[in-house]
Amino acid sequence: MSGPKSLPRILVVDDDEGLLILMAESLRAEGYEVATAGSGHAALKWLESHRPSLMLLDLKLSDLDAPVLLERLRRDERPVPFVVVTGQGDEKAAVEMMRQGALDYVMKSTGLLDLLPNVVRRALTAITQGEELVAAQREHRRLEAEIISVGERERHSIGADLHDNLGQQLTAIELMCSALKMDAAGHPPLARGLEELARLLREAVMQTRLLAHGLVPIGGGPDALQTSLAELAARTNSLGRLRCRFECPDSVTLTDPVRSVHLYRIAQEAVNNALKHARARSVLVRLVRKGSTLVLDITDDGTGLPAGAPKPEGVGLGVMQHRARLIGAGLDVVSESGRGVTIRCSLPLPP
């Protein structure tokens, strides 16, 4: 059983001692836990060891202006949700503070103590809703990644079955046909039939292996992406429908296997699009590191997109964009009518 929920803690920062006491007592009467600071430096000192739910901040402190205090907190990576408390005539400055992140502002007037509880409630509600939205987005990204991961595991399982089971069985049948062909040497029609059957089985074995490699593309090691993209180009070339080249001017290493798989799948989908839809004669897959960014380009010489056409929104591109988002990469589509399409995926690398 969980313990009682802790009360929101409010930090009130104001250099007017009398008003500071009144605001604190007004909020305590509403059930909040309240801490006070009579100067900007005192607030910074208190914030070194405490984390309030909300800060009520006087816009013009005698020792430290509110923007300076907030900048110090941002610089130290200790931002605090805040509401501005300001005097008459400073409404414009308060609105500017809201542009810089203030949740609300309240005027120092005769109605301040009556308005303050509602302002604080609105601000705390906004904070809670923001935290819930962030948590929901985080969970959404986690579930998306899990769905992709499950799909990859299924691909791996199917690819392994194709290679280890079906591929071996087809190879065994092809060997049996070759042996039977020798026994049928005295029956030319039967021998020719067995030869044709053996040829079809060899083609089936090759197609099975290609499918298996496509389903399980990435091996181990930091150069697995580079190696797998080269194999993708070779397999595409073997189909005889277009020329596919892979370029990697300098050795590129990527130690994260998840990112490697997503980048490979993006390249695979782009090459498939060139094969199926672009009527391309050649495709170039290029992997290069530019400073702190890994850039994967897939360029075809197909029909491209008509001038003025919107960016394509097909399932293939949607999957590529989704994969790019999952690994924190950007995906751009560059095309001119009759000049092919370039899919560019840019992945920021850790230092």
The structural domains of the chain, ordered by start, are: 9-109 (3.40.50.2300), 218-351 (3.30.565.10)
**Res 224: pLDDT:** 85
CA angle 318, 236, 203 (to 5 degrees): 120
Closest to 346 (Cα-Cα) out of 315, 325, 317, 316: 325
**Res 1: pLDDT:** 44
Specify whether the CB–CB gap between 139 and 118 falls below 8 A. Answer: no
**Res 308: pLDDT:** 52
**Res 111: pLDDT:** 85
**Res 35: pLDDT:** 95
Q: Which positions of the chain have pLDDT values less than 70?
A: 1-6, 88-90, 148, 152, 155-156, 159, 163-164, 209-220, 306-315, 337-338
Read off the pLDDT of residues 11-43 as tens digits, 9 standing for 90 and up.
Answer: 999 999 999 999 999 999 999 999 999 999 999
Specify whether the CB–CB gap between 235 and 267 falls below 8 A. Answer: no
Please spell the DSSP secondary structure of 283-318, one letter per residue: EEEEEEEETTEEEEEEEE-S--PPTTPPPP--HHHH
Written as one letter, the residue type at 56 is L
Helix (H) or strand (E) holding 225: helix 224-238
Identify each DSSP E strand in 40-152 by its residue range.
54-58, 82-86, 105-107
Q: Which residues have C-beta within 8 Å of that of residue 107, sequence separation ≥ 6? A: 86, 87, 88, 91
CA 151 to chain centre: 17
